Structure 1
Amino acid sequence: MARTGVLTAAGLMLGWLADQAFGDPQRGHPVAGFGRVATAYERVSYADRRTNGVLNEVVLVGAVTGLGVALSSGARRPFARVCMTALATWTVLGGRSLAREAEAVAAHLAADDLPAAREQVSHLVSRDTQALDADGVARAALESVAENTSDAVVAPLFWGAVAGIPGLLAYRAINTLDAMVGYRNDRYGNFGWAAAKLDDLANWLPARLAGALAVVAAPVVGGEPSQAVRAIVEQSGAHPSPNGGVVEAGFAGALGVRIGGRNSYDGVVEDRGELGYGSAPTPSDLVRANRLALAVSAGSVLVSAGLAALVHRGRLPQVRRHR
């Protein structure tokens, strides 16, 4: 009987290849379906209290984790385990779709179509985009590529390596809920507290893995690993996110550009600190950022496959045959 770690590793790699080849499903995406369920449940679970937010996380993340356990338990044969892991991996990854969005932003900027670039980048970021100039649009897109490479590729692969199918699905539920309610505003300041904190915890190790991979991959985009290390060490702490700052600083240092600074969210200005030491990013830097993201993504699937082989060294339970 094959070792479960090898099967998990194979499933992660196949799922990553499927994401690179096809991107997100255009219709009936399971993550979108989860979002609709979460929105419906919020109507009955919401109150401006942290305890209600904690309960919201327990119920929704717990339900998705339970589904992952059931799917994993049902896939007892080696071939079924690989296929189910690959399908779950493809479902939760978003690397190719992220690259397509960034490519579209770069194309609009290269064509000097600033209104179209502003509209396109609004698909990637939650900041106010209508007043951004070309440099601001390019910066917003590059920051999204960096952070979402960690959130939508490195982190799910990491948790898939650690906890298999349940880890893949649970992480995506945690990250989705943070994107839905993890805001410091009047409605979600208390209710979304648990979602934000749990997402920070789930991304702590993956973000640092993503930052390290950006350092290693810097030469792929003509960058210096030492500059990426310097940016992470010296500048990541200025970012309000304990995880986003590490990844964005690593990308900025590797690419030799300067990102970060002041952003507006629903009219509220937030200073995220400067990251990197070069000039403001250009459309060509977005192309380089996508290349760096792909290198980080490829590195993460290899690391995760190796981690899975180490963590899951048991054997699948033998399927009993009734004669």
Structure 2
Amino acid sequence: MIDVTVENFEQEVIEASMHTPVLVDFWAPWCGPCRTLGPILEKLEVAYGGRFKLAKIDSDQEQQLAGMFGVRSIPTCVLMVQGQPVDGFMGALPEGQIKAFLDKHLPEGELQDVQEDEQQPMPGMEDDIQTRLDKLRQASEAQPDDEKARFAYLRQLLEMGLEDDARAAFAPVAVQAETSVRYGAIKTWLDALEAARSAGDPNARLAALDAAIAANKRDFEARHQRAQLLLAHNQWTAAMDELLEILMRDRNWRDGLARKTYIAILEIIDPPKPPVAEGQIPPEDPTVASYRRRLSSVVLS
């Protein structure tokens, strides 16, 4: 596995794919599905014994590369062969589906056994997505009044694209969305998914919204719709950037809708805090911290 930037893209992706297929993983540190998918891809790179090479691109840091591939949501994986993209997938797929994807394109060979300690999973992440989901569901069912447990379960469902299941699990607490930051964030996410579905083709809709904003930078409705579309496709930071454009011009637009949506996204992307000793403050994700500061600077200015 190698981290790819604009500077080494030609060598590590284009030239490398002339000899060995390269699976390019577009991710971001704040992206929950990315943190789930990453360890699986790293494990499979070892298991496939050199039949493909894994290249990771931080879509926040390397926006030029993400734009070049037309990445609209993350995680997005693109398989490069002979310098050209031949296939890809979006979302944190289960290991079995990723194997099926790879087996369509890679030369045949035996899978190697990978020991648990060789996988080096990211802290706090489960190797198996379904196992993690089952644990979160069990915790939510065992403590139906535990907002934190239900929120974690709902967020995992939505990260996996299980929108119908998420709506069913959210229904019993939907009335609390007005008073709970966590449940309000889930409602915002579900509303964005519904809006994106109604909008049709995302690329065409984004182009139309971009044109509307170019014609009138104070078209806040178009900006909010654009932020919703980006949110629905896991482009969290891009969505917050768009909402900041509204807030810098009108902090109170539609009774503070832009601010409420921004705060909802922060709640969604803020990763679970690792345990710390009593009296210590858990470290904050740098992306979340940065966007909290940006919101404060706009709202308090």
Band the TM-score falls in, shorter-chain normalisation: under 0.3
**Higher RCO, 1 or 2 (CA under 8 Å, sep at least 6)?**
1
TM (norm. structure 2) is 0.22
- Select the structure that is richer in helix: 1
- Normalised by the length of structure 1, the TM-score is 0.21
Higher strand share: 2
